[in-house]
Amino acid sequence: MPLAATARRLMPLVCALGLIVSTAPAVADTPALPNEQPRVETLPELSPHWFLVNDFNGPGTMDSKVYLFDADSGRMLGMLSTGAWRNVVETAPDFGTIYSPETYYSRGTRGERTDTVTFYDTRTLSVKGEAVIPPRRASGLPHRAYSGRSDDGRFVYVSNMTPANSVSVVNTETMAFASEVETAGCAMIYPTGTRSFAALCSDGTLQNVRIDDNGALAERSRSPRFFDPEADPITEKAIRLDNRWYFISFAGQVHPVDVSALAPVPGTPWSLLTKDELEQGYRVGGLGFAAVHEGTRELFVIVNQDGPDAHKNPGKEVRVYNIDETRLVRTIKLVADAGIIAVSRDASPRLYATNMGIPAVFVYDATTGAHLRTIEGPPITPTFVQVP
């Protein structure tokens, strides 16, 4: 290092607190750099190209993290420490608060377990409060649908598994646990309005649960059987547009389900892949292989060519479909394998692509497919990317 010769010796002089000021002659004619006061940053105004990266942290799963980045500058903006077993966070409709389901043990990996939804002020990335929830939060390989939020932001839902399935409901206004709703035989959380959420059932149906204004169970309904969990199961990686959830099967069948009413109404399935493509081994795949852009009504899906059982494999191609016209619009060739994608919500959308095994996030123009930037990690085991 070039400065070694000069700086190696410790000067016998300290100006801590400015109580002592050196009168050593300036070497240059310019005034000396002013003394600085260290401070803590707060975040500037929200940009549509900010994104969150949940880091599962494979080398230290009990010490997970959520990173915030600005895709335009490529800079990291801040981080949250979010306890054991990261899935995803929920965010307030105005992105002013981050709701993070977290798990802690009194001795790190042992002792008393405490699960929380922790409330972070997004502007300061500091804790505003926490709701202690039942210590049954589902964990494992991260899934987006392990939690959800009511459309109005009033309630956050957290998936439990013991292995019995239930959902912890948290009131975001009172920052308190509201109720636990059993969803026997049905897993994951797909919000369906301001006071309801759905869960996927092993018999090929969708259960829809309505809660009251206190977060307690009000009533339930169940869709007709709309997929065959043996012949061609749908994955947990669904996307929502308006009042419709779009579930995607291993073989790339899209199953739309209308959730406007309490009883979910399945629509007509359509296919992302042709019969020829399926035979050639094309499959949808990845930890979070689907994303949607509301403005353009476009569905983004990662495709690989690894054949059967490739539903978790990453791919180097993102296909873009018009979801209303059920047709392929274009294909984006990625510069690196991706298993996880997200698309910003604005009119100049960015496509974020990453993979748990690659400590980097790749930023593309979602419209042209151009690769704009690579943001090197850490995060070292990026799981879900989330957009404000």
Smallest separation (angstroms) from a second copy to the CB of 12: 9
**Among a second copy, another protein, none, partner that 48 touches (CB below 5 to 8 angstroms by kind):** none
Choice between 68 and 366, CB closer to another protein: 68
Smallest separation (angstroms) from another protein to the CB of 306: 10
Choice between 20 and 261, CB closer to another protein: 20
Which residues contribute to the site for a second copy (CB under 8 A)? 4, 8, 57, 59-64, 81-84, 102, 104, 106-110, 114, 116, 118, 127, 130, 307-309, 378, 380
Q: Is 86 strand, coil or helix? A: coil
Choice between 298 and 362, CB closer to another protein: 362
- Closest by CA position to 232, among listed 245, 246, 250: 250
Smallest separation (angstroms) from a second copy to the CB of 207: 24
Choice between 142 and 264, CB closer to a second copy: 142
Choice between 37 and 109, CB closer to a second copy: 109
CB 250 within 8 A of CB 212: no
Choice between 79 and 218, CB closer to a second copy: 79
Smallest separation (angstroms) from a second copy to the CB of 24: 20
Choice between 4 and 13, CB closer to a second copy: 4
CB 150 within 8 A of CB 193: yes
Q: What per-residue string of b and e applies to 139-165 under the rule 16 or more CB within 10 Å gives b?
A: beebbbbbbbbbbebbbbbbbbeeeeb
- The values of phi and psi at residue 276, to 5°, are -60, -45
What are the residue ranges of helices labelled H in 216-357? 275-279
Rounded CA gap, 208 and 322, in Å?
27
12 CB-near residues (< 8 Å, 6+ apart): none
**Among a second copy, another protein, none, partner that 114 touches (CB below 5 to 8 angstroms by kind):** a second copy
**Among another protein, a second copy, none, partner that 45 touches (CB below 5 to 8 angstroms by kind):** none
**Among another protein, a second copy, none, partner that 116 touches (CB below 5 to 8 angstroms by kind):** a second copy
Smallest separation (angstroms) from a second copy to the CB of 150: 26
**Among another protein, a second copy, none, partner that 276 touches (CB below 5 to 8 angstroms by kind):** none
- The values of phi and psi at residue 278, to 5°, are -60, -45
Rounded CA gap, 24 and 17, in Å?
18
Q: What is the DSSP letter of 310?
A: -
Smallest separation (angstroms) from another protein to the CB of 23: 9
Smallest separation (angstroms) from another protein to the CB of 143: 7
169 CB-near residues (< 8 Å, 6+ apart): 155, 156, 157, 177, 178, 179, 180, 181, 211, 215, 216
